[in-house]
Structure 1
Amino acid sequence: MTTFKRASIDRPAYTLPGQYFTSAEIFAREQEQIFARQWICVGRSADVPSAGDYRLVEIAGESLILLRDHNQRLCAYYNVCRHRGARLCTEMQGRLGETIVCPYHAWTYRLDGTLATARYMQDAPGFRREDWPLIGATVAEWDGFVFISLASQPVPFNQAFAPLIGKFQAWDVGRLQRGAQIVYEVAANWKLIVANYSECYHCPLIHPELVAVSPWQSGRNDLTSGPFLGGYMDLTHESMTLDGHTRRPPLPGLDPVDRRRVYYYSIFPNLLLSLHPDYVMAHRLLPRRPDATTVICEWYFAPEIATAADFDPSDAVEFWDRTNRQDWHVCELSQQGVSSRAYRPGPYAQSEGLLWQFDQEYLRVMAQE
């Protein structure tokens, strides 16, 4: 049986020093130590639904081609020709057909990454086409999300994500369809955004709409250490909407308890997953600079709802767009404050226990050789 408990801290605990949010050197280390080694969420399986469909994704400053091959297998390749290094794809998404052709010298690759043709290379000493496939990265799919690891030998996904495998089965997240997307540019460090997501200490001060439908002190957590953190908050109305009501029915797999809760989980390092009774929302973080993060927020609904002629997700989108913008504002205020020479690490409150645990996981990963 899953045990949920309040966030707590069992010793004096303090926020990270300011350089962790402002230093270009630390940001560069994060890109190498975290984003180039961990499993990074890059989108949804439905983004590349058919053979030949592709999207460009960026991880740790690298451009990768995420595509589905002729066996319907998801693949990811560095967007780099093996000849002279030219970018292969320049459009953010599209359909490749049978091959990937370099625009510079027309080296041509099959969708499985193997080199099909290399113009006038047959006389090059020692050249063999089989020696020059595209460089790939490891891909995993989980609950409809796509993850990529740039590590040469990543921890197997099912091992790394063992605490989450099957955990959200009742929501059937892989079946849900995207009903809306908003992309935000936030002038704050990515860790401040994760921290803000992980506590409701601030909620009665800046989220009047949220506390009207979900008591801010109701949070209880079942994942309280490591790379995955979170739990639930009570829901006193039908849905997280501005008036608390919706015409959508609850997702069909939920029991009566889960229909009165919203679950919030941070999935290290860049996915924030929010599971509601009638929809699921995800924030995907793309760190740009120490003080800048792109946040892609998406809402997912049951397909029978999302494909209906009268489908209208605006009640959920308006609620969270307002809440998001309230959050981004205080995250940007935090970024401005931690950039001051007057800033010193401050004490965490008991209700900020998950933030301290996130810091411990972050520091552990940053210290790895």
Structure 2
Amino acid sequence: MSTIIPIRTHRELLESREAGHGMPGELFGRQDVFETDVELFFHKLWILVGVTADVPEPGDVHTVDIGKASVIILRDDDENIRAYRNVCRHRGSRIMKQPGKATVGMLVCPYHQWTYDLDGSLRHTQHMGKDFDPGCHSLIPVHVKTVGAHIFVCLADEPPTDFAKLETVMAPRFVPYDLTRTKVAYEMEIIENGNWKLVMENNRECYHCSATHPELVNSFLAEDFGFCPDGQSEDALKAYEDYVERNAATQAAWEKDGWISERFESVDEGVQTNFRTQRLVIAGANESQTIDTKVASTKLFGNLQRRDLGDVHMWGHHSWTHVMSDHAVIAYILPLAPDKTLVRTVWLVHEDAVEGIDYDLKKLTEVWVATTNQDAELVANTHKGTQDPAYRPGPFSQFTEAPLDEFSRWYDARLKEHGV
């Protein structure tokens, strides 16, 4: 006679996680957990959904699906960026049928042709009678903020107020790059066969980088992501000392010249808007995340004159950004299913940069195209393993995977805050 194993609740799964260890496999594979994650971490918190270059001109639209919700991001006639629920106020039809980009004069529902201006107001209907008030049927607005090139939205009625901290910290770091004067040089969407939390765990540690990311390690300094001195050779220890000295000297020189470089973190259990930033030293020429570590675009951002400004790195609970003097790589994820995650990556260059003259597209993209594909394989393999009956969460490396434990604690705290 077989033994029936009771299904643990979401809270029981969270409480079963041993400090310093990974999450139980059910938190990656169960449909009910997935639905709760989408509702809390993607419908109630601020999330990155695009870049200003997605909607460069008035009438440009970028539609993003987030679970069952859909959001229209657009630039209006006054060049303001707005966001609306992609739901007609008549009988609920999607106004934009598919996610992605389009250019429109007005927003027209394909069902009964209710027509909305770019400011969300209902401008045209037929057969609704003289007593119908179009002013009561404008599109439902969505909270939207831009920071540098980043477009954030929040679907909650009352969005987290601590997003102001991210604005205060990041805005001055992005100002010299003038990221609103950029264009999309390349974009890539890939569906990774793993849970969104595994995608983020993979992104938050570089324990795996030296063995799996040969392109990336040309420009990354592995020591930035942790170093355990135990069992290392004298040469390795000396290399680490050299790294510490070089890093400190470069950071000090940047700060002296007015380039904000210090590390800032808002990742503990008490925050809702989870983010971290730091200006990272790039290996070699210290210019860009390319194979030769030199700029891929000779047309630098804004009015920059210096190439050697390292990497202004920012990550949040579902996104990561690398801004260099010549280009930026901005990526965010959207959960599709317990084992499916959409990863969108955008490469930005100066709005006046010309492909083949100012930049070489292969050089610009090859590091992160390769890294993204490699990460997809790592995540898929890990997701499969966490669903194996033999899986038992192992310990994190305290030297290279501490951010994973921080993320797990933050994830737990947000769920507890909402009664899960």
Change (3 A) 1:119 1:253: closer
In 2, the alpha carbon distance for the partners of 1:67 and 1:140 equals: 12
Match of 2:390 in 1: 342
Could you tell me whether the CA contact under 8 Å between 1:64 and 1:79 is conserved in 2? yes
Deviation per CA, 1:53-106: give whole Å up to 9, x if none: 222111232122222222222222222222222222225432321x32322223
Change (3 A) 1:255 1:107: closer
Residue aligned with 1:173, SS? coil
Higher relative contact order at CA 8 Å, sep ≥6: structure 1 or structure 2? Answer: 1
Match of 1:79 in 2: 86
Match of 1:318 in 2: 366
Q: Is 1:242 the equivalent of 2:242?
A: no
Q: Is 1:38 the equivalent of 2:45?
A: yes
Match of 1:60 in 2: 67
Deviation at 1:43, TM superposition (A): 0.9
Match of 1:185 in 2: 191
Which of 141, 148, 151 matches 2:153?
148
Q: Is 1:229 the equivalent of 2:284?
A: no
In 1, the alpha carbon distance for the partners of 2:350 and 2:130 equals: 57
In 2, the alpha carbon distance for the partners of 1:333 and 1:248 equals: 35
For structure 2, the 5+ residue unaligned runs are 1-17, 227-262, 269-273
Q: Which amino acid aligns with 1:319?
A: V
Deviation at 1:184, TM superposition (A): 1.4
Residue aligned with 1:164, SS? helix
Residue aligned with 1:133, SS? coil
In 2, the alpha carbon distance for the partners of 1:240 and 1:212 equals: 8
Which of 269, 283, 292 matches 2:340?
292
In 1, the alpha carbon distance for the partners of 2:20 and 2:277 equals: 19
Identity among equivalent positions (%) equals 30
Match of 1:328 in 2: 376
Q: Is 1:357 the equivalent of 2:403?
A: no
Deviation at 1:251, TM superposition (A): 5.3
Change (3 A) 1:214 1:75: closer
Residue aligned with 1:265, SS? strand
Change (3 A) 1:160 1:307: same
Match of 2:104 in 1: 96
In 1, the alpha carbon distance for the partners of 2:392 and 2:213 equals: 27
Q: Which amino acid aligns with 1:24?
A: Q
Change (3 A) 1:66 1:236: closer
Deviation per CA, 1:218-273: give whole Å up to 9, x if none: 348542634113545542223332344456456577798x92643433212x2211
Deviation per CA, 1:29-51: give whole Å up to 9, x if none: 01111111111211111222222
In 2, the alpha carbon distance for the partners of 1:68 and 1:244 equals: 35
Change (3 A) 1:240 1:86: closer
Deviation at 1:293, TM superposition (A): 0.9
Q: Is 1:106 the equivalent of 2:122?
A: no
In 1, the alpha carbon distance for the partners of 2:150 and 2:353 equals: 20
Deviation at 1:352, TM superposition (A): 0.8
Match of 1:166 in 2: 172
Residue aligned with 1:218, SS? helix
Deviation per CA, 1:185-204: give whole Å up to 9, x if none: 21111111211111111112
After superposing the two structures, state which structure 1 stretch, 51-60 or 131-140, moved more. 51-60
Residue aligned with 1:116, SS? strand
Could you tell me whether the CA contact under 8 Å between 2:54 and 2:101 is conserved in 1? no
User: How do 1:201-280 residues align onto structure 2 when only pairs under 5 Å count?
Assistant: 201-219=207-225, 222-223=264-265, 225-226=267-268, 227-231=274-278, 233-238=280-285, 239-246=288-295, 248-249=297-298, 259=308, 261-268=310-317, 270-280=318-328
User: How do 1:120-159 residues align onto structure 2 when only pairs under 5 Å count?
Assistant: 120-122=127-129, 127-156=132-161, 157-159=163-165
Deviation at 1:168, TM superposition (A): 3.2
- In proportion to residue count, which structure has more strand? 1
Q: Is 1:23 the equivalent of 2:23?
A: no
Residue aligned with 2:173, SS? coil
Could you tell me whether the CA contact under 8 Å between 2:67 and 2:336 is conserved in 1? no
Residue aligned with 1:43, SS? strand
Change (3 A) 1:49 1:176: closer
Could you tell me whether the CA contact under 8 Å between 1:55 and 1:66 is conserved in 2? yes
Residue aligned with 2:152, SS? strand
